[in-house]
Amino acid sequence: MTEPTFALLIDGDNIRASLYPDIRRATAEIGQMTTRRVYGNATSAAMENGWPNVTQLRFIHSGTGKNATDLLICVDAMDLVLRGVVDGIILVTADGDFSHLAHYLRERRTPLHCIGTAQISPRLSEVATSCTIVPLPIPVKAEIPPAPILAAGISGASKPPKVVDDKALCKTLRRLLQEKKGGTLPMLHLHQHMGEALPGVDLTRSKNGKTWRQWLATQKDSFAIHGEGQNRYVRAAP
């Protein structure tokens, strides 16, 4: 079965463009994003939030009418789902008015993954398939003593990138699985749970894979992935 596809729809009047790197990190384990759009009033809020400068997204001017951005996002989300263009929606907003869309998609058994700030309305976060808060936690860095001054008067080599500790990842994932009823964890939620348990974890620095699926493939003696598509889950290896 092919990987599920999603449409990334961003409320540009409600979310700042400076959060886009965190948004991309939060979507890394959800699925393939075949549609990436940001909506907003190009003459005011969205422009002030910096979205027209994010070239990876298609910017859509929603106009100046009341709730114009919210309405346009809802129309496009339903259109993409009903036409079968995508398997689910990744909605980036903190606005509780989108709870109506969330209820509609849940009744259709269509996943809606929400990404928002700490001010996100519970009316939306409690209905969505999953909810991730941005900005994501920043890893705590230990203080490093200054590099010694070399004889030539040039400082030592720059600090090497932090290496992901596979033992720490395995230990944390085992603990999470033990805490879950049935000892399983949906793959769609793995990125969020591991990020909360290990703030700032960045698999792009791992030597054993750049995504959780790739990393788990190297840990077959410890963990196993079952199911297909959106129903994949991870559990401890037998």
Residues 104 and 207 in one domain: no
Is the pLDDT reported for residue 11 higher than 90? yes
Give the structural domain span for 124. 5-133
Residues 79 and 179 in one domain: no
Q: Which of 109, 133, 157 is the last residue of a domain?
A: 133
Q: What pLDDT does residue 159 have?
A: 46
Residues 124 and 52 in one domain: yes
Whether 104 maps to a domain, the answer reads: yes
Is the pLDDT reported for residue 161 higher than 50? no
What mean pLDDT is predicted for residues 85-111?
A: 95
Q: What is the mean pLDDT of the chain?
A: 82
Is the pLDDT reported for residue 145 higher than 60? no
The CATH number given to whatever domain includes residue 232 is 3.30.420
pTM above 0.85, yes or no: no
Confidence of residue 17 (pLDDT cuts 50, 70, 90): very high
Number of compact structural domains in the chain:
2
pLDDT digits 0-9 by tens, 205-218: 666 666 777 778 88
Residues 181 and 115 in one domain: no
| 3-state SS track over the chain | CCCCEEEEEEECCCCCHHHHHHHHHHHCCCCEEEEEEEEECCCCHHHHCCHHHCCCCEEEECCCCCCHHHHHHHHHHHHHHHCCCCCEEEEECCCHHHHHHHHHHHHCCCCEEEEECCCCCHHHHCCCCEEEECCCCCCCCCCCCCCCECCCCCECCCCCCCCCCHHHHHHHHHHHHHHCHHHEEEHHHHHHHHHHHCCCCCHHHCCCCCCHHHHHHCCCCCEEEECCHHHCEEEECC
